[in-house]
Amino acid sequence: MGSRFVVHRDEIAGSLVHGATERPVLTEAFGSAFLTETVRSIPAGTTAGPYQPAFDEALFVLTGTGALSMGDDEIEFGPESGIQVAPGETYRLRADGPVEIVSVLVRRAAGDDVAAGPRRVISRLDEQDIGHATAGREYRILAGPETGFRPGTHFVGYIPTGAAAPVHYHRYDEVIYVIEGDGVLHIDGEHNPLRAGSCILLPSRVLHQIENTGDIPIREVALFIPGGSPAAAFLPDGTSAYAGQPDDPDR
C-alpha cells in the first residue's frame, strides 16, 4: 500500500499535453482536493501551450531558461523563477533548452476580504528576502497576497542538515515538491523517505515532522492556502512552534 501523503514524480506516467510532457503528481484522486500539482517537461527549442487555467496557478521553474508569453507581453525566465497566472489568462512557455516546471492549481477561490498588493507575474528566487522558521529553517516567498496572488502563498523552504522541526501542524492546506536533499516525512504513523522529486500533501491540522537525514540542506517549493507566513506552525497543544508567532486561537 502506498503512502497517503507522498508520491514520487517517477511513479507517475507522463502524457503529452499542449506540447509538454505532464505528470499529475498530486491530484484530487490522491486526496488533494484544493491544490493539484503537476510536473511539466518542455523539450528544448519548443513552445508549450496555449494554457488557460480555470483557477489561479503558480509555476516554479526547476531547470532551464525561456520566456512566458501572455497577451502582448513576453517575459524571460530562468531556473528558480516563480510565475503566477490568474484564472482565464492565456499563456505559452518557450523553452530555450529543456525546461522543467512544477505547476500548482488552486482549486478554491480566495475570499473577497483578502487584500492584495500589486501584481508581480514573475519572481526570481534570489531576489526575495529570507525569512526564518523553527529549527533553523529558512524560506523565500515567491508569491502571496502581497504580490497580487490572493488565494495563497508560494515559497521555497530550506531545512538544514541534521535538522528536524518539532512535531507540529498548520492551519492551512499545503503541497510540496522536494527540489533537492534527502529526509523523512513523519506523519500520521507513516515514515516516508524523501528525495529530489518527492511530492508531499500536507492537509490542514495534521501533525507532521520533516527530518533532514542527508548531507545537504533540503530545498522544497511549496504552496499553501489560505496565504500567510510559512513560519506559522503549532505544537500539539496549540502553542506556537516559533517565537513571535501567536498561538492557535482555535485550540
Least confident of 95-104, 107-116, 118-127, 220-229: 107-116
Q: 513552445: which residue's cell?
A: 47
CATH 3.20.20.370 is right for the domain spanning 6-106: no
Residue 140 CA, distance from chain mean position: 12
Residues in the chain: 251
The domain locations on the chain are 6-106, 125-225
Q: Quick check: do 6-106 and 125-225 share a fold?
A: yes
Give the number of C-alpha atoms closer than 13 A to the C-alpha of residue 240, restricted to the C-beta side.
13
CA distance 150 to 225: 9
Tell which residue, 101, 143, 146, 103, has the closest CA to residue 122.
Answer: 143
What is the CATH number that goes with domain 125-225? Answer: 2.60.120.10
The string of pLDDT tens digits covering residues 117-160 is: 999 999 999 999 999 998 889 999 999 999 999 999 999 999 99
Give the number of C-alpha atoms closer than 13 A to the C-alpha of residue 144, restricted to the C-beta side.
18
The string of pLDDT tens digits covering residues 236-248 is: 999 998 877 889 8
pTM listed for this prediction: 0.96
CA distance 126 to 57: 21
In contact, 63 and 79? CB cutoff 8 Å = yes
The string of pLDDT tens digits covering residues 156-195 is: 999 999 988 899 999 999 999 999 999 999 999 999 999 9
CA distance 117 to 123: 14
Cα-based angle 229, 235, 236 (whole degrees, multiple of 5): 135
Structure confidence at residue 1 (pLDDT)? 59
CA distance 213 to 161: 7
Rama region for 231: left / alpha / beta (φ>0; ψ in -120 to 50; rest): alpha
